[in-house]
Structure 1
Amino acid sequence: MLHAKLGRVLNVVYYHSVVFALVSTTLRIRSHRKCIRLEKLSRTYAIYSFFVGIFLFLNLYYVVPRIVADGYMKCNIVLQWNFFVMLLLRVLAIVGCYGTLWLKRHQIIKLYKNSLTYWKRFGHIMKALVDRKELLDLQASLARMMVRKIALLYGAFLCSTVLQYQLLSVINKQSLLALSARLTHFLHLLSVKMAFYGILVLLQHQFFVIHLAINNLHRRKAQKKWKSLRSVASMHLQTLRLARRIFGLYDITSATMFINMFMTAINILYHAVQYSNSTIKSDGWGILFGNGLIVFNFWGLLMLMEMLDNVVTSCNNAGQQLRQFSDLPKVGSKMQKELDVFTMQLRRNRLFYKICGIVELDKPACLSYISSILSNVMILMQFDLRRQRQPNNDHQYFNHLFKNKTEM
């Protein structure tokens, strides 16, 4: 059972991933039969993935524009070094993304097969224990959230495109080719983010379904509720293992994505500082799209952290739903045994999201993430202020030296 809106949104995410070869093999989706299975021609798609990765890597040669030598960056070493750091991070992102897809291709395909088996195995739980209207309302809300996320991504892409075009010092074939190359990499990063959001939406959907199943099971008065509770506990454990496996397989890809987002936010804010002190000349449209880029970028960052926190919280807070069974007047021995087993399972198995197994991302980490961005921007502003003062000091020194010579 899948809401039509959520299905269309997931199709958009899927086709973005297919175009940029972010999946190890394609899926065959037949909506009229409600059938989803792996495509047989996976080797052909692997060759396509190889050429897409090589194209993006070689495309980095054209990303380096002449603006570094004769554009708005020529008098600002901070912007130059920031540009080359971003270029290095793009190399790491491409190598990490497509290296994961090539080196772990068989593991990822096996994950796809296990995921399809998972959906078929636990589909009866959703039909038997979850109210149809509640499930459709949940899927509709997730679809709306995903639509907002896609709109934010493309809004940031539009604002970035306009600003990149305005920053071109000379409009010719070479500069337009460099702009096209950079926009291609922006679209690649957009597709990676969208695929990550799609995974989070699917995991959030399953954990919320478990919550709905527990609530409906509490309200039911049918016999043999312990068997249904055992099925829900098994579904929760398999979903948690699936989430851990997904986070583990795409660990390097996610790490490079977060590092690129971190440096992109610093780059955007530092450019905003340059616009505000008139170091970079701009008109009304530049200010409008620049403010829009800042809003879309940080709004999208906060929504990403919220989605990730919702997935982790919905998994770990399933025990809160089990507390409502304590108000039942009578609980059978089998039902009590299943409640104890499910509670012990939740205590021993908790979901965490860590980047490379080191940095755990949660709400405090989100605040630290944003504060680190602002701190780095302030440090760069100090270099900018020192650079602006230096010519004035030199000019005053030479004037003072010239006066002393004339007096002598």
Structure 2
Amino acid sequence: MLHSKLGRVMNLVYYHSVFFALMGTTLRIRSYKKTIRLDKLSRTYLLYSLFTSAFMFLNIYYMVPQVLLDSYIKYNIVLQLNFVVMVFLRIMSVLCCYLTIWLKRRKIIKLYRNSLIYWKRFRNIMDAIVNKQELKDLQISLARTMMQEIMVLYAAFLFSALVQYQLLNVVNKRSLLAFSIRLIHFLHLLAVKMAFYGLLILLNHQFVVIHLALNTLHKKKVGKKWKAVRSIATMHLETLQLARSIFRIYNVIHTTVFINMFMATMNILYHAVQFSNKTIKSDGWGIICGNGLIFFNIWGTLMFMEMLDKVVTSCNNTGQMLRQFNDLPSENKTLQRELDIFTMQLKRNHLVIKICGLVELDKSFCLSFIASILSNVIILMQFDLRRQQQPNHPQYLTHLIRNQSDV
């Protein structure tokens, strides 16, 4: 049932999560045998998780000293504040991520077990109702989308590493250590993003499968359709509950992901402004790497928002798929009753994703997200222009003091 391409891509996401200790326990995924099962939680993995979380938190200290002495941010208060905010966000991200894993470990393991039970329960429904070729095409498409997101994330990581290396004022042991720690934290955030995107891929897969099942059921001229409709309604309700559980348990982590995406994009665009007005010196390779970083960072953000919107839309638009059953004869009262129950279930249950219960993640949020980034960059540009009009160079201050003394 699980295509080998999608299985290999999800294995890649899984190994990233295991490496950075983002899992509650280890899993065993074998797509060619169509099995997914939980492995026993071992003490070795718990010790590894403790070591990884402590390492990611304590090494933040080594990011700070060398970067604050770099010449390109030494006389720019905005860049210094941006750096302080980014370090603070890294601390919050690491704390929120690993505290969630440790404090909610039982809930996370229970979520894994419920997902496994869910997968086994509705596998027969998909095999019996959904067209095999349509299911194969869907999984191949999702595998390509997931692989594309992974490539975009790693491309952004590569260009970010090149740009940060070029910005090093002095290459020595301390600067290289700070540079390496920054790359490790970048990879950690990349793994968190990848895991979040993988969850969205799986949820979108299940909701689209429900749509395919309804389309196939409408075309088939067989009896006892009401049993299939009842099974699909149960599948939709449990998928919705599973999605709510995922977003509720990982709510804090997802919040830090969006805040980091916001600040990182704003910081990248403001650095681009500094490169364009020659405040930060760069050569041709620096400009190419900077443009690549901007391109892949924005591309990855847009793909993230698009998949998030697809999950919400595919869940809440299932009612539109039921309208095609209106052209069926109304003689089968049992089928009509099951359709009415399914319709009422859809009206009462909508998937709403919120950040900390405050901000709803929908299309308007995506537009506001991009608009807020651009607005903040423009505001920072105004401060930068004002700073250039009122220079703070030591020679300028000395000349100004002499003029005042002569007067």
Fold conserved between structures, TM > 0.5: yes
Displacement after TM superposition at 1:370 (Å): 0.7
1:22 aligns with 2:22: yes
Q: Which residue does 1:227 correspond to in 2?
A: 227
Q: Match for 2:181: what amino acid?
A: A
For the residue of structure 1 that corresponds to 2:74, the secondary structure is coil
CA contact (8 A) 1:67 1:74 kept: no
How many Å apart are 1:64 and its aligned residue? 1.3
For 2:13 and 2:323, locate their aligned partners in 1 and report how far apart those are by CA, in whole Å: 37
Q: Aligned equivalents of 1:132 and 1:222: distance in 2?
A: 18
Aligned residue for 2:29, secondary structure, equals strand
Distance 2:300 2:400 in 1: 51
Q: Distance in 1 between matches of 2:236 and 2:30?
A: 28
Report the secondary structure of 2:37's partner residue: strand
Q: Contact 1:24 / 1:46 at 8 angstroms: preserved in 2?
A: no
Task: Note the 1:152-171 alignment, pairs <5 A.
Answer: 152-171=152-171
Per-residue CA deviations over 1:142-183 (Å, capped at 9, x if unaligned) read: 011111101110010000000000000001111111100000
The C-alpha deviation readout for 1:292-320, integer Å capped at 9, x for no partner, is 11111111111111100000000000000
Moved more, 37-46 or 285-294: 37-46
Q: Which amino acid aligns with 2:126?
A: M
| Partner Cα separation in structure 2 for residue 44 and residue 166 of structure 1 | 39
- Give the equivalent residue in structure 2 for 1:388: 388
* In structure 1, distance between residues paired with 2:405 and 2:179: 52
How far is 1:327 from its partner? Answer: 1.1
In structure 2, the residue matched to 1:34 is 34
Residues in 1 aligned to 2:37 and 2:405: alpha-carbon distance in whole angstroms? 86
Mean Cα deviation higher: 289-298 or 391-400? 391-400
> Cα deviation per residue 1:3-56 (whole Å; 9 max; x = unaligned)?
111111101100000100111100123455432211113443122111111000
1:26–1:286 Cα change, 3 Å: same
Q: Check if 1:67 corresponds to 2:50.
A: no
1:319-359 Cα offsets, whole Å, 9 max, x none, are 00000001123441000000000000000000011001100
Closer/same/farther in 2, CA of residues 342 and 66 from structure 1, 3 Å limit: same
Match in the other structure for 1:126: 126
1:213–1:232 CA contact under 8 A, matched in 2: yes
Aligned residue number for residue 88 of structure 2 = 88
Write the letter of the residue equivalent to 2:268: I
Q: Which position in structure 1 is the counterpart of 2:350?
A: 350
Report what 1:10 is aligned to.
Answer: 10
- Aligned partners of 1:240 and 1:351 also within 8 Å: yes
Query: 2: distance between equivalents of 1:219 and 1:330?
Result: 16
Equivalent position of 1:285 in the other structure: 285
Q: Deviations over 1:117-160 (max 9, x none)?
A: 00000001100100000000000110111111011100100000
Q: Is the 8 A contact 1:60 1:181 kept in 2?
A: yes
Query: 3-state DSSP class of the match of 2:208?
Result: helix
Shift of 1:382: 1.4
Q: Closer, same or farther in 2 for the Cα pair 1:328/1:158, shift >3 Å?
A: same
The answer on whether the counterparts of 2:265 and 2:297 sit within 8 Å (CA) in structure 1 is yes
Which aligned pairs between 1:43-122 and structure 2 lie closer than 5 A? 43-122=43-122
> Counterpart of 1:335 in structure 2: which amino acid?
L
Question: Where in structure 1 are there 5+ consecutive unaligned residues?
Answer: none
| CA–CA separation in structure 1 for the residues paired with 2:202 and 2:385 | 47
CA separation in 2, counterparts of 1:28 and 1:382?
A: 53
- Residue of structure 1 equivalent to 2:272: 272
Cα offset, 1:70, TM superposition = 4.0
Within a 5 Å distance, the mapping from 1:125-274 to structure 2 comes to 125-274=125-274
* CA distance in structure 1 between the partners assigned to 2:36 and 2:315 by the alignment: 26
Question: 1:101-130: CA deviations, max 9, x gaps?
Answer: 000000000000010000000001100100
Q: Retained in 2: the 8 A contact 1:24–1:42?
A: no
Alignment deviations for residues 340-397 of structure 1 (CA, whole Å, 9 cap, x no partner): 0000000000001100110001111111111111111111111111111112899599
Please give the alpha-carbon distance, in whole angstroms, between the structure 1 residues aligned to 2:239 and 2:397. Answer: 69
Go from structure 1 to structure 2 and tell me whether the alpha carbon gap of 1:97 and 1:226 turns closer, same or farther (over 3 Å shift).
same
For 2:42 and 2:341, locate their aligned partners in 1 and report how far apart those are by CA, in whole Å. Answer: 41
Say if 1:161 and 1:183, in contact at 8 Å, map to a contact too: yes
Change (3 A) 1:4 1:284: same
- AA matched with 1:281: K
Deviation at 1:398, TM superposition (A): 4.9
Please give the alpha-carbon distance, in whole angstroms, between the structure 2 residues aligned to 1:29 and 1:298: 32
Which residue of structure 1 aligns with residue 366 of structure 2? Answer: 366
What does residue 310 of structure 2 align with? Answer: 310
The one-letter amino acid paired with 2:261 is: M
Tell me the TM-score normalised to structure 1 length.
Answer: 0.96
CA distance in 2, matches of 1:57, 1:404: 53
Distance 1:328 1:385 in 2: 67
- Distance in 2 separating the partners of 1:65 and 1:150: 32
- Matched position secondary structure for 2:350: coil
TM-aligned CA distance change 1:400 to 1:30, over 3 Å: closer
Separation in 2, partners of 1:56, 1:404: 55
Give the letter for the 1:249 counterpart. Answer: I
Cα distance in 2, alignment partners of residues 107 and 400 from structure 1 = 66
Q: Distance in 1 between matches of 2:189 and 2:362?
A: 22
Bigger shift: 71-80 or 158-167?
A: 71-80
Report the CA distance between 1:2 and its aligned residue.
1.3
Calculate the TM-score normalised by the size of structure 2. 0.96
Counterpart contact for 1:67–1:169, Cα < 8 Å: no
Query: Whole-Å Cα distance in 1 between the matches of residues 159 and 400 of structure 2?
Result: 45
Structure-1 separation of matches of 2:129 and 2:3:
17
